[in-house]
Amino acid sequence: MLLREAGVEGMIGDLLESFVQDAPLRFAALEQAMLGEDSKAIESAAHAFKSGAGTIRATFLADILLEIEMAGRTGHLKAAGDLIEPIRTEYLAVMRELGAQQ
């Protein structure tokens, strides 16, 4: 309904396909940043992933990604580490909902 109101309803298929193609790379980048304990990389990876999730209205995923983005921004690596599993769980749920092969 929101896309219809914005006049871009016809783009939904392309947006979803783009997310399905991009999300595995975004999640992998976030995991890599976490392994490297690089707060700036965590912030950047989470922000990019959050943008895609927000675009397709995967709001719970986007909300968790915002939390990890803020943890990266403030250098709270412990808080960021605590969020990676909830992000993985929600990311996989969104991909299943979209019918994406894992």
The CATH number for 46's domain is 1.20.120
Residue 19 lies in a domain: yes
The span from the CA of 76 to the CA of 36, in Å, is 14
Flag whether 81 is in a domain.
yes
Residue 102 included in any domain: no
Residue 40, domain member (yes or no): yes
Q: How confident is the model at residue 11 (pLDDT cuts 50, 70, 90)?
A: confident
Domain interval for residue 60: 2-97
Q: State the CB neighbour count (10 A cutoff) for residue 81.
A: 14
pLDDT of res. 58: 93
User: What's the confidence (pLDDT) of residue 8?
Assistant: 63
pLDDT tens digits, residue range 61-89?
Answer: 999 999 999 999 999 999 999 999 999 99
pLDDT value of residue 14: 84
Residue 68 lies in a domain: yes
Report yes or no on 43 lying in a domain.
yes
Which one, of 69, 93, 89, 88, lies nearest residue 79 by Cα? 69
Helices (H), the chain: 2-6, 12-35, 39-55, 59-74, 77-97
| Whether the Cβ atoms of residue 43 and residue 72 lie closer than 8 Å to each other | yes
Number of domains in the chain: 1
